[in-house]
Amino acid sequence: MPSPLRLCVRRSPAPDGSAATVVTLRLPSDVACIEEAVELVTRHCLAGHDTSKKTRFRLQVVLSEALSNAIVRGNQEERGKWVHVQAELGPDAIRLMVTDEGKGFNPLAIPEPIRPEQLDEANGRGLYLIRKLVDAVQFNEQGNSICMILRRP
C-alpha cells in the first residue's frame, strides 16, 4: 500500500483581476502521484460547472498525459525535481499549464504516431493524444512547459 501523497492545491483569484480562479499544485517526480493529482485538479476545474462526461474524460486524459511526460521525460523521475501545475479556471475555458524542471524538448520534432508502420510501437502517442483532445496547445520556448486550453461546452 503506497503512503499517503499529501498533495495540496491552492485556489486564488487571477492576478490580472479577471473572473478566472487560479489553482496551483506542486507534485514530486513520482508516477504514483499522477492519479491523485489528476483527480484533485479535475475536481477543482469542474467545480460549479455543468460539465459533460466527455469534458471530464478529456481533462483526466490530458492531465495524466502531461504529468507523465513531465515526470518521466522532463524530470527523468529525479526525486529532487518537481512538477508544477497551474490551472486558470475561467467562465469559458480552462487553461492548464504543466511545467517540469527538465531541459525541455522540441515539440515540433515529435512525429505523428498513426502511420501503419508505427502502430506496433509502444511509445510516442502522448503529445498526439493531447493535441487531439484539447482545443489548443502551446509550449514555452524552452519546451519544458505545456499549456493546454479546453473550452467549456
- Closest contact distance (angstroms) between CB of 67 and other proteins is 9
- Closest contact distance (angstroms) between CB of 13 and other proteins is 26
- The stretch among 13-21, 99-107, 116-124, 136-144 that binds other proteins (CB under 8 A) is 116-124
List Cβ neighbours of 139 (8 Å cut-off, separation of 6 or more): 107, 145, 146, 147
End-to-end Cα distance, the chain: 38
Binding track, positions 46-85, relative to other proteins; x by CB under 8 A: -------xx--x--xx--xx--x--xx-------------
Q: Based on the shown chain and the rule CB under 8 A, indicate whether residue 120 belongs to the binding site for other proteins.
A: yes
- Closest contact distance (angstroms) between CB of 3 and other proteins is 8
Sole binder of other proteins in the list 79, 117, 119, 153 (CB under 8 A): 119
Q: How, if at all, do strands 9-13 and 145-151 pair? A: unpaired
C-alpha cell at 68: 507523465
> Residue 127 CB: number of other CB atoms within 10 A?
20
The whole-angstrom separation of Cα 89 and Cα 22 is: 6
The phi-psi region of residue 73 (left if phi > 0; otherwise alpha if psi is between -120 and 50; otherwise beta) is alpha
List Cβ neighbours of 129 (8 Å cut-off, separation of 6 or more): 61, 62, 65
Q: Based on the shown chain and the rule CB under 8 A, indicate whether residue 101 belongs to the binding site for other proteins.
A: no
Sole binder of other proteins in the list 23, 34, 70, 148 (CB under 8 A): 34
Q: Based on the shown chain and the rule CB under 8 A, indicate whether residue 142 belongs to the binding site for other proteins.
A: no
Which residues of the shown chain bind other proteins in the complex (CB under 8 A)? Answer: 1-2, 4-5, 31-32, 34-36, 39-40, 53-54, 57, 60-61, 64-65, 68, 71-72, 113-114, 116, 119-126, 128-129, 132-133
